[in-house]
Chain A
């Protein structure tokens, strides 16, 4: 809830400043992922990141994808299939399948 407000404020600020950005939203979750459907993160073209879409496992990868989305202007859906054994092996604490929709957010037209 509180988080929603932070994201919206960030979208607003980023659009007004003329910076391009991409909004990542968790749209589907299977297994015991940390964040649920609707969790959001905003990444702008200067790599500022606001919000959380996992417990810290996916953020940096999603930020990379966000860069390409900002460049292409085309939304994509990214699926992370985090096999439990594999993930625990890597020492990451985010098992489960997570789908993340990443869409470009254009600056406000002046």
Chain B
């Protein structure tokens, strides 16, 4: 890897799905004098390749890069730095984060549009269900399918910090068993199909089994699931669920854009007109 150019190392990171940053000095005066721009590649695994022409700036960009790579939802941006001689340089800091994953527990009929929309939105999509007949390639094209009983989750199911979870087994015991497993995982979002009363019932049953969850664990549990768009059909429900997942992934809270002053500002800085 170290003998690669920063650009090639960056391409390689995409293939290996490793978080990284490619920093590039921008040619402010339209045409750059040198053909090769100053460039620095920084991976989350701390591989550093290239040079922005100044040690101090290399160091600062490296710090910014590593900080961004540890954020949930980092943004690419152009930053300005001043060289010792007083010259300003503009450095574009391009952040690459591998695709998020959507993991659906339950391969029922209504999981099909959820999987389909997730795939089209670019999520790596996994369906977990022990029933081979339901959990098939025909029903869930372009997804990974895991044939696993709840008792096998521990060994077969891998959940990461970017694995968004939808629990829709239509089976209260199986949902309960799934919750036992997923609420202990590092997943940022666990949506559970069904009304509030069902959630209360399941958590109560788990408590009776001696399983208690921390407040932080439960805060990631979204049930009822989805944005409030009055969804009725499986497709509308899937849309409502995915809209919530995308909002959560991007650090937003959902709702109408009408009357909001900015489209792209994060919720904290968004003002009403």
Contacts and interface: CB of A to CB of B under 8 A. Distances in A.
A11 B15 CA distance: 12
A47 interface: no
B95 A32 contact: no
Interface stretch (B20-28, B165-173, B188-196, B230-238): B20-28
Contacts of B35: 73-75
B121 A2 contact: yes
B31 A103 contact: no
B236 to A, nearest CB: 23
A12 interface: yes
B28 to A, nearest CB: 7
Interface size class of A (residues with CB under 8 A): 20 to 34
B96 A76 contact: no
B14 A32 contact: no
Given A5-B14, A11-B11, A37-B77, A101 B32 contact: no
B272 interface: no
A36 interface: yes
Nearest to A73: B35
Interface of B (DSSP majority class): loop
Interface size class of B (residues with CB under 8 A): 20 to 34
Contacts of B24: 101, 103
B95 A99 contact: no
Contact of A99 (B76, B78, B121, B263): B78
Interface in A1-42: 1-5, 8, 11-12, 25, 27-28, 32, 36-38
A92 interface: no
Interface string B70-114: 000001111000000000000010111111100000000000000
Interface string A47-63: 00000000000000000
B77 A77 contact: no
